[in-house]
Amino acid sequence: MGDPKGFLKYRRQATAYRPVCERVKDYSPVFARRSNKESQEQASRCMDCGTPFCHWGCPIGNYIPEWNDLVFTGQWRNAFELLDQTNNFPEITARICPAQCEYACVLGINDDPVTIRENELAIVERAFEMGFIRLHLLHTRTGKKVAIIGSGPTGLSCASQLNKVGHEVTVFERDDKVGGLLRYGIPDFKLEKWVVDRRVNILTDEGIKFRTGVNVGDDYSASKLLRNFNAICLAGGSRVPRDLNIEGRELKGIYFAMDYLVQANKRVAGETIPHNKLIDASGKKVLVIGGGDTGSDCVGTANRQNASCVVQIELLPKPPECRTDEYPWPSYPMLLKTSTSHEEGAVERKWSVLTKKFIGENGNIKKVLCAEVEFLKIDSKACSEMREVPGSEFEIEADLVILAIGFTQPEKKGLITELELRLDDRGNIKTDNFFMTSKKGIFAAGDMRRGQSLVVWAVSDGRRAAHYIDSYLMGSTCLPDV
């Protein structure tokens, strides 16, 4: 432990964000990186508490107290090497992870937690700057071929791990570029795409083959896959959007969040969208239905496109701002999240709102009929029943409605159907404890297995799947099961 009194000397330094008036005019990152000296001061706040719950809170088990100590003492290379042992893409999690670790920080019991996520960013970006990042190059290969379907964080972490132990890895991706939701879901103002490209270039240089523009199950049959590869990992994500099948749903101007965000990301990357397919918020009254992170990304994007106003509604009640008895420390609490997108521009947020009807004019969406709801406890357990508050109906004017109400399951058409894979109760691919599906040699990981989740869980799943795939192919493995 570097400085036993660090947490007494320094307050938590809040993330520095660029001024709102500046950042809403562009898609550059909303945050400003802090100096190495500031990171060292912040790392010195880590108490080395003995039982590091932060390590438990992090889904990939990052060695947080250890690298905080190394940062404090200026041992940046060692800090990076430790981080590299557990996280294939720290430069990505360090930008967009909700930092479950920080909610489990022991200092957080009676003070502000250590800025773990930003310390992670400082370590990895310093490693890139100083040339600490080495290519894992191999002279011998095992001769085993593995196909990975999907190039999101799950597929990429699985590929990275399997390549390290000498398998010949091919990643198939149906989009024109690699990255999954990192590229086409998450907006640039949260994660710039050069960060993804920089990592993909490293993976390519290390020997991983990428085949983009190939929709497996359509352009490349599952039977061919089975013939050509010794093992397969399905990492195709969970993208079937939840719909709102109420009166007026057929009106023009109502879109799924991913249709909107994919297009917005492509435009930021310089692609031109044909006019008749363009979804643009410029000058429009935008209503985002769904109060989660995807909805928040739509709010930030709509404000950057100069929407005339943005309203975001959510069916569930407003979450608490501080921990409640339901979510005691060190659990990850369901708290009210005010994202950087919410702080920009005039977004009005409403909770406990039911969407009842889309109302149009000449076939276009004009307004939305809503009502307030309340949740009444119906038993001693946490079960409650939703009831519409009588006489509470109201209308919201909107000429662009974005549905951001979640994703139900992976797409079944194509690969899953052709392989006749067993599914779990929620419609995700069912695997055993070793990540193997109901078909021998075919594994599944990430959102496709666990449902829409987080990047850090995708990385965890990809790494774990690689552990079991290597065991399956070689009889034993040196890859970690995290």
Ligand X SMILES: Cc1cc2nc3c(=O)[nH]c(=O)nc-3n(C[C@H](O)[C@H](O)[C@H](O)COP(=O)(O)OP(=O)(O)OC[C@H]3O[C@@H](n4cnc5c(N)ncnc54)[C@H](O)[C@@H]3O)c2cc1C
Judged by the rule CB under 6 A, the positions of this chain that interact with ligand X are 96-97, 149-155, 172-175, 180-181, 185-186, 190, 215-217, 235-237, 239, 261, 293-294, 297, 414-415, 446-448, 452-456, 458
Stretch that binds ligand SF4, among 55-63, 107-115, 360-368, 426-434 (CB under 6 A): 55-63
Could you give the angle at which helices 76-86 and 64-72 cross, rounded to 10 degrees? 160
Interface residue with ligand SF4, options 93, 160, 296, 305 (CB under 6 A):
93
Among 106, 1, 98, 150, residue whose Cα is nearest residue 329: 106
Locus of tokens 């769904």: 290
Task: Output the DSSP codes for 114-125.
Answer: P-HHHHHHHHHH
Interface residue with ligand SF4, options 120, 125, 344, 399 (CB under 6 A):
120
| Nearest approach, Cβ of residue 29 and ligand X (Å) | 12
Instruction: Name the 3-class secondary structure at 158.
Output: helix
99, interface contact from ligand X, ligand SF4, none, CB < 5-8 Å by kind: ligand SF4
Interface residue with ligand SF4, options 23, 34, 95, 117 (CB under 6 A):
117
Euclidean distance between CA atoms 234 and 149, whole angstroms = 5
Burial pattern 72-82, b for ≥16 Cβ within 10 A else e, equals beeebebbbbb
| Nearest approach, Cβ of residue 298 and ligand X (Å) | 8
Q: How far from 190 is each of 94, 182, 293, 327, CA to CA, in Å?
A: 11, 10, 12, 27
Choose between 239 and 467: whose C-beta lies nearer to ligand X.
239
With binding defined as CB under 6 A, does residue 159 bind ligand SF4?
no
152, interface contact from ligand SF4, ligand X, none, CB < 5-8 Å by kind: ligand X
Q: How far from 168 is each of 128, 144, 434, 453, 462, CA to CA, in Å?
A: 26, 6, 21, 28, 16
| Nearest approach, Cβ of residue 397 and ligand SF4 (Å) | 39
Surface-to-core class of residue 306, CB atoms within 10 Å of its CB (0-12 exposed, 13-18 middle, 19+ buried) = middle
Choose between 52 and 291: whose C-beta lies nearer to ligand SF4.
52
45, interface contact from ligand SF4, ligand X, none, CB < 5-8 Å by kind: none
Euclidean distance between CA atoms 473 and 471, whole angstroms = 6
Tokens of 181: 């939701």
| Nearest approach, Cβ of residue 459 and ligand X (Å) | 9
Choose between 161 and 312: whose C-beta lies nearer to ligand SF4.
161
217, interface contact from ligand SF4, ligand X, none, CB < 5-8 Å by kind: ligand X
Residues 6 or more apart whose CB falls under 8 angstroms from that of 365 comprise 248, 251, 252, 253, 254, 358, 359, 398, 399, 400, 401
With binding defined as CB under 6 A, does residue 69 bind ligand SF4?
no
116, interface contact from ligand SF4, ligand X, none, CB < 5-8 Å by kind: ligand SF4
Choose between 67 and 255: whose C-beta lies nearer to ligand SF4.
67
| Nearest approach, Cβ of residue 17 and ligand X (Å) | 15
Choose between 124 and 264: whose C-beta lies nearer to ligand SF4.
124
With binding defined as CB under 6 A, does residue 83 bind ligand SF4?
no
Among 199, 210, 206, 198, residue whose Cα is nearest residue 174: 210
Which stretches does DSSP call E strand in 74-139?
none
Interface residue with ligand SF4, options 70, 101, 403, 405 (CB under 6 A):
101
* Cβ contact 161:466 at 8 Å: yes
Choose between 56 and 375: whose C-beta lies nearer to ligand SF4.
56
